[in-house]
């Protein structure tokens, strides 16, 4: 552990303003990446837990119980 790399490089990174549509696209991409990582981890573990029990607000979860608003 001779080398320690600090994130974000030890200095503040200024925030930039982006349009809502670009933010939504980036958020969707981030969710797709997380879904892929979870799928790879499940594949490595040999488990097939199926779909997540999470559901949209007001929707029905995989467990069959309504999701509270």
Phi/psi at 24 (5° precision):
-60, -40
CA distances (Å), 42 to each of 28, 35, 45, in order? 21, 10, 5
Over range 33-45, report the average pLDDT.
87
69 pLDDT above the threshold of 80: no
pLDDT of residue 15: 85
The model's pTM is 0.46
pLDDT of residue 47: 62
pLDDT in tens, 5-35: 666 666 777 888 999 999 999 999 999 999 9
pLDDT of residue 39: 87
pLDDT of residue 55: 56
Closest CA to 55 of 68, 42, 43, 46: 68
CA distance 51 to 61: 10
């Amino acid at each position: 552990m001779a080398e320690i790399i600090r994130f974000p490089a030890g200095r503040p990174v200024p925030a930039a303003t982006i349009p809502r549509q670009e933010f939504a696209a980036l958020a969707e991409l981030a969710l797709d990446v997380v879904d892929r990582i979870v799928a790879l981890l499940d594949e490595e573990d040999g488990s097939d837990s199926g779909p997540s029990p999470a559901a949209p607000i007001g929707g029905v979860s995989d467990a069959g119980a309504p999701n509270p608003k």
